[in-house]
Chains A and B, each alone.
Chain A
Amino acid sequence: MRSSEAIRLAILAGALSAAAAASAQGTTAEGIAKYREMLQDGNPADLFDMKGEELWKQKRGPKAATLERCDLGKGPGVLAGAFTELPRFFADTGKVMDLETRLIHCMVTIQGFNESDLYKAAPSIGRGEGANLVAMTTYLATQSRGMRFNLPQNRPEEKNMYEVGKRLFFQRAGPHDFSCSSCHGVEGGRIRLQDLPLLTKNPGDGVGFAAWPAYRVSNGQMWTMQKRLNDCYRQQRFPEPKFGSDVTIALGVYMGVNAKGAVSAVPTIKR
């Protein structure tokens, strides 16, 4: 072809590819959002919810009892609204507990399971009692779907946990000097193409603290808040937080209190 024609075509091609690249960011983000929307119908989390309900109502453990009288903070057997008020202080243990540690407590006291065995099994989310804990946590959290977070801050223990959680959130350590706030302390932040909710305040309905437990499509796993925190610390290059430890409870209180009023969308679906 003639050189002037070639130049015109080259300029056009250049303009098109520049426009494509510029809109690719928006198109990619839109595409991912659409993909997630399509996955909402038929969220495999429902399978974990079903299994959890079955386990909750089944006579299990050395005492062959069901968990239906377990008190998650609103009275024995009251499930609606329990998840959205956790973590909270429990008089019978004298501690602030989250859903997962309170569930273990009920399995120990009502069903006769061994406490340290359950804490040992808990991190293995794909098998044995670890998988059962995940299923029941999903079921229990789902019972508060659509309700607003309203963690109590009446007891000194609850207020202390909030302050400890705040200091943990901003603690910088490890070879990368990361803190939770490195990623979750800015508005509109994004790692690669993954949006990051700002966790120092209410980031909105169904995100952040209001989104876990969630089903992760990329690895077909159901992740609870304990697992989410565990993997956050792994990627931050910290040592491992023990399951149900004070660090994990305190961060739950900090995020949950900050998210006051946010609607729980649990169980959600993630990439």
Chain B
Amino acid sequence: MADPMRIRAALAGDETTVRVLMAHIMEPGTRRDAAGALIPAHFIQDVDASHNGKSVLKAMWTGAVSQNPFLSFKFKGAAKGDKVVVKWVDNKRDTRTDEATIA
């Protein structure tokens, strides 16, 4: 499995802010190596964040997103102690799922 994500989730008022740092090479497929050959594309395509089984964020990424992506978003309707689950799938069908408890 790929390297773990670092997820932090904090509740302020009725809004939960989630910060995710993903470990991924995010190779766009358009760069060339020293010999001039194209480096094959390898990037996260789908991101899904859910709370209590319900999806709160879906993202479709391309090679334009940089290496080790940082994602930050807010959503309402959660309580302290709830779990937020983040899952990504890349173009090679590799995947990673991690979770964090809302502080």
**Does more than half of chain B's interface fall in helix, strand or loop, or is it mixed?**
loop
A220–B72 touching, CB < 8 Å: no
Give residues of chain B (1-51) contacting chain A, Cβ–Cβ below 8 Å.
Answer: 3-4, 6, 19, 21, 23, 25
Task: Name the residue on B nearest A47 (C-beta).
Answer: B23
Give residues of chain B (59-73) contacting chain A, Cβ–Cβ below 8 Å.
Answer: 66-68, 70, 72
A81 in the interface (beta carbon within 8 A): no
Task: Name the residue on B nearest A54 (C-beta).
Answer: B4
State the CA gap A39–B8 with chains docked (Å). Answer: 16
Report which A residues bind B (CB closer than 8 A).
41-44, 46-47, 50-51, 217, 220
Report which B residues bind A (CB closer than 8 A).
3-4, 6, 19, 21, 23, 25, 66-68, 70, 72
Query: What residues of A have a CB within 8 angstroms of the CB of B67 in the complex?
Result: 44, 220
**Does more than half of chain A's interface fall in helix, strand or loop, or is it mixed?**
loop
Task: Report the minimum CB–CB distance from A35 to chain B (whole Å).
Answer: 13
B72–A41 touching, CB < 8 Å: yes
CB pairs A–B below 8 angstroms (17 shown): A41-B19, A41-B72, A42-B19, A42-B21, A42-B70, A42-B72, A44-B21, A44-B67, A46-B21, A47-B21, A47-B68, A51-B3, A217-B66, A220-B25, A220-B66, A220-B67, A220-B68
Task: Report the minimum CB–CB distance from A134 to chain B (whole Å).
Answer: 14
Query: What residues of B have a CB within 8 angstroms of the CB of A44 in the complex?
Result: 21, 23, 67-68, 70
